Structure 1
């Protein structure tokens, strides 16, 4: 599973994709996040898009939002490599209307099928199958703050995090659905990534920025073991902050 930022490298996503496929070999499968937060009116992306609009303008914008279509909806916020993978002939995409993944290779369909539309990135998502397959995670010029695999650690926290309501449009324009799922929170992923033992990571550099390779299973297990305690301690600090 690859997260990448190619801005400023002067290297086309097609060239990077070709290099990754050569490195994986004919038996390897490449997976990228193909998330579409723009498809939801409960996402940060949507709030940013309607900021400054009047209430009437925001309603009109919402009414015109296109439904998620796995074979056609772009994933602009995921970067050039993700969009390149998604649009490559033979690519497979999971069915979640907000947090789909796209893949190429012999196991892509097996790994990305049966993505429960009410489960972003938990046990009923491709992340769980990638974990079972002991997939590797490549962070190409990005850090753990965007590492989607860490969301699986969130789902496995004890006690579990709170839940929230999500909304998105599917099937046809105006066909909005609502569902409850984990309240995903990536604000402490960079901190968690900085605490992962060095022996679990292979580090390098490309085009002036860091590259990190790690095993998904080892990293998810490590973060899951410390995430609950970290968040609990920070919640206690907030409650006990003077003036609160």
Structure 2
């Protein structure tokens, strides 16, 4: 066991809520949160205290939404961090548990989303690899009906968040994790990709829009330069607050110019 004293600042449920109010989080609003617990400092109560602070700032009429992605429910042939031996692939495909919104843990998006997923009253969407969970009176409106062949597009909670005037809170997280930028990818020419995943009746292959977070950091830098983004601190973490609709509209223009993807498309025969 480490004997090194913890480094600060000391963060509590109350200091989280107070900092969020100071940043401009409003009671009753809808907030899509991307987060990093370790960036906050020494949190008394860990992720539970952070979720409590978020809910305190939003109040009983507000709704908290987080990504609860489970990208590990995917084709092992695509795994690279780390890869698995080719001779394992068929066994993995045959035995991987299918997605269950009640039991499938989150993967790669942090402990705060996992805490929200298991919170009493949480509602989780149906997409097996790109789900969202929500707490609050608008939870069902936002996450129900998530199409299983539309990760982050028009039939996902992102489009509903946009229509509901939700805002994004980056809480110690960077723009590379800003999922609403992906909604813009569905609105510009993009290739399709086939991927496999476990289904209720065995392994299935689905066709989805190809998406990538490549250059999202650059996109976020330009977005923050050109559009109103509220910046502040929560504990030791940098925090950013901005409307979903504003980010999606900016990303749609930016990606079309700065990240053309013509090479992804098959070229017609001469």
Secondary structure of the 1:195 match is helix
Secondary structure of the 1:123 match is coil
Deviation, 1:134, is 1.0
Q: Give ranges in structure 2 of 5+ residues lacking alignment.
A: 1-31, 264-270
Partner of 2:60: 26
In 2, the alpha carbon distance for the partners of 1:230 and 1:89 equals 43
Secondary structure of the 2:81 match is helix
Deviations 1:163-190 (A, max 9, x none): 1112111225xx1121211101111111
How many residues end up aligned between the 2 structures?
A: 228
Q: CA RMSD in A?
A: 1.8
Of 225, 233, 237, 1:205 maps to: 233
Deviations 1:29-85 (A, max 9, x none): 0000000110011685x343443x2x3233323322111001110003211100000
1:163 aligns with 2:192: yes
Residues 1-244 of structure 1 aligned to structure 2 (within 5 Å): 1-7=32-38, 9-11=41-43, 12-41=46-75, 46-51=79-84, 53=85, 55-157=86-188, 160-171=189-200, 175-198=202-225, 199-232=227-260
8 Å CA contact 2:72, 2:107 repeated in 1: no
Deviation, 1:197, is 4.1
Partner of 2:13: none
Structure 1 stretches of 4+ with a deviation exceeding 6 A read none
Q: Give ranges in structure 1 of 5+ residues lacking alignment.
A: 237-244
TM-score by length of 2: 0.80
Deviates more, 1:163-172 or 1:93-102: 163-172
